[in-house]
Amino acid sequence: MTNLNLIRWLLAFVKPLRWLMAGAVSLGIISNIVVIIIPVLAAVTAFQIFSGVTINLTAIMIVLICCGVIRGVARYCEQYLNHNIAFRLLAIIREKIFAQLRLLGPARLGGKKSGDLITAITTDVEALEVFFAHTVSPVLIACGTTILTVGFLARYHLGLALILLAGQLIVGVLLPFFSYRKHQQIGDHYQKNFVALNQAVMEDIASLQDIDQYNLQTEKLLELQQKGANLNQQYRLRLQQGSVLRIAGEVTLIATSLIILVLAVFWQLPMETIIVAPILSLSGFGSVLALNGLGNDLLMTFASGRRIYALMQEVPAVTFGTTDKTFALDEVSLQDVAFSYEQGKTILENINFTLKPGEWLGIGGESGSGKSTLVKLLMRYWNPESGQIDINQNNLSELSEEALHQLEGLMEQQTFIFETTLLENIRLDNAAISQAAVLKAAEEAEIAEWINALPDGLQTVVGSQARSLSDGERQRIGIARMLAYDAPLLLLDEPTSNLDYLNERSILSTLTKKIHGKTVLLISHRPTTLAITQKQLHVSGKTLKP
Ligand code: ATP
Ligand code: MG
């Protein structure tokens, strides 16, 4: 992805807001011009008084005061507009990223580091602010201001105007460009180190117990310190580069003004030109100096932009169909299904079975044999490589995502508990499920008694930071969640393998007693668990055997 393409892609977001941006640019040019008018007018007036010309001092004072006021108001409005545009665009881009994450689904996101994703939706998006608020319109503002100031000076003397133009081009174009070229890698390296530190912190938090148990504190701390030091190193490089740039910008400004002064004297130009030209030059650099740091800032922004672009270009593993209607489950059938995650590494082949309504089928097999993969195919995280999965004689791929989720309920080895009330943990913010229905599901999952004994009942907040739950309680919440959603086809992937024997027996007995009229696919490597199903198959040698 070249930067030009990236810029084009980013600019496409600005298009709908171009009139606002035009307003911001106009205000920016006005605010820069009045800043130049103040010293130039003051100098010209001083010169005229000095030469004995009679002037209306009051009128000039009024003009100067007006310029000051205009500067303040125009600058405020320009900044307001630019940031308003930028943050609106960031919100739009964030929404697009979330939509894309949803589209990519578990299949594509499963392989990503959570640190990367979090960086994408936080830091990366934020970094684009530099482009939208501090690049697009400042570049246009600088162009406009430069044309006006150089044009104005050209009326006095063309040679001096060209020197001013050269100085402004050095500060606004050459310096940022060379700094960008020279330090291109810094942006990418900084980003990588930033993600690495993020990822390490998150992993460490998630594995606190293991770190404690295996006495890894010192190693982990060292690792964090190392990653922090790497990040600091990159940060220092960035700061250094910024300072060098700023100094170079200021030096160019002073040098240009000096050259203009010396040449004006040397060429024996009129006194007014000798006064106006250097002052115009000294005050005319504001807009290009604003671009001076761009090379540096855009390094980060483009690195972030490229990552967001790459994420947005990813193609989802599946696209859902359009069949929206819900229907009673009649039959699930798999015909000659084969699947592999990577080419040439077949996980499943020749998978054939049929599930009739109300049937309970158990699927066993060794760890890594492909049992969970089978569930993922039924959930349409992935499409089969060949063969067909049908529901009521319709291909699974014809169903919309909503229809599929209404048809299938999934429960896994571990139930994720959100940091919210038990009520919302069971109905997952689906307001269509009433509190009474949640309570009924909890009763069927045999956890209602436990919930009712809590001081806040269903309103008790649970989850990582709040009250934590036992594995058995978690799984019962999982069952309640599944029952509250009331899908006709239940996919149970090792629902009890996290539990001890007694807990397992008790959960299995709940499942057999309370699940009525549902079709169930139960996956487990434990024969004792599979025993609750009427029929069992085993994944062995990539295929299903009795
Ligand atoms: P377990 O009993 O341990 O849960 P399983 O039978 O459910 O095992 P699967 O999770 O289906 O096994 O995995 C089957 C094989 O596919 C394994 O070798 C696993 O490493 C591989 N695998 C799983 N997910 C992916 C993936 N996203 N990309 C590549 N390979 C994968
Ligand atoms: Mg599994």
pLDDT in tens, 425-483: 999 988 899 999 999 999 888 899 999 999 899 999 988 766 778 888 998 999 999 98
**What is the CA(364)–ligand 1 centre distance, in A?**
14
Report the atom number in ligand 1 closest to the C-alpha of 107: 27
Q: Are strands 543-545 and 535-540 parallel, antiparallel or unpaired?
A: antiparallel
Within a 13 Å sphere around the CA of 503, how many CA atoms are in the beta-carbon half?
Answer: 14
Measuring CA to CA, which residue among 457, 453, 449 is closest to residue 422? 457
Using 50, 70 and 90 to split pLDDT, how confident is the model at 24? very high
Q: Which pLDDT belongs to residue 3?
A: 84
Lowest mean pLDDT among 7-11, 18-22, 114-118, 431-435: 114-118
* Predicted local distance difference test score (pLDDT) of residue 465: 62
> Sorting pLDDT into bands at 50, 70 and 90, what band is 326?
low
Provide the pLDDT confidence category of residue 343 given band limits of 50, 70 and 90: confident
545: confidence class by pLDDT, cuts 50, 70, 90:
confident
**Residues belonging to the chain:** 546
CA–centroid distance, residue 344 to ligand 1 (Å)? 15
Given a cut of 70, whether residue 531 has pLDDT beyond it is yes
CA of 494 to the centre of ligand 2 (A): 7
Question: Which atom of ligand 1 is nearest to 523's Cα?
Answer: 7
Quote the ligand 2 centre to 493 CA distance (angstroms): 7
CB of 368 closer than 6 angstroms to any ligand 1 atom: yes
Q: Give the number of the ligand closest to the Cα of residue 369.
A: 1
Judged against a pLDDT cut of 90, whether residue 55 lies above it is answered with no
**How many angstroms is it from 491 CA to the middle of ligand 2?**
12
Residue 89: beta bridge partners? none
Closest-CA residue, ligand 1 atom 26, reads: 341
**In one letter, which amino acid is 46?**
A
The reported pLDDT for the residue numbered 66 is 96
Pairing of strands 346-355, 332-340: antiparallel
Q: Which of 104, 318, 341 for mutating ligand 1's site (highest number of atoms within 8 Å of CB)?
A: 341
Q: Report the alpha-carbon distance of residue 287 to residue 9 in Å, rounded.
A: 25
Rounded Cα distance between 135 and 141, Å, is 10
For residue range 267-297, what is the model confidence (pLDDT) as tens digits? 999 998 999 999 999 999 999 998 887 877 8
* Mean pLDDT score of the chain: 90
pLDDT at 1 over 80: no
Ligand 1 close to Cβ of residue 106 (< 6 A): no
Query: Ligand 2 center to residue 344 CA distance, Å?
Result: 21
Please give the residue that has the higher pLDDT: either 118 or 438: 438
Q: For ligand 1, is residue 108 a contact (CB within 6 Å)?
A: no
Of 349, 372, 410, 530, best ligand 1 pocket probe by most atoms within 8 Å of the beta carbon: 372
Q: Atom 3 in ligand 1: which residue has the minimum CA distance?
A: 367
**Contact 358 CB / ligand 1 (< 6 Å):** no
Mind giving me the DSSP string for 415-445? Answer: ----SEEHHHHHHTT-TTS-HHHHHHHHHHT
The answer to whether residues 29 and 141 touch, using CB atoms and an 8 Å cutoff, is yes
Residue 393, pLDDT > 90, answer no
Q: Which atom of ligand 1 is nearest to the CA of 111?
A: 27
What's the rounded mean pLDDT across residues 145-161? 95
In the reported structure, the alpha carbon of residue 311 is separated from the centroid of ligand 1 by a whole-number distance in angstroms of 24
- What pLDDT score does 242 carry? 83
Q: How far apart are CA 364 and CA 494, in angstroms?
A: 10
Q: Is the pLDDT of residue 189 over 90?
A: no
Nearest ligand, measured from the Cα of 370? 1
pLDDT at 308: 92
- pLDDT for position 377: 94
Residue 507, pLDDT above cutoff 90: no
| Residue of 371, 525, 526 best suited for mutating to test ligand 1, as the one with most atoms within 8 Å of CB | 371
For residue 369, which atom of ligand 1 is closest to its CA? 6
Residues 6+ away with beta carbon under 8 Å from 311: 97, 100, 120
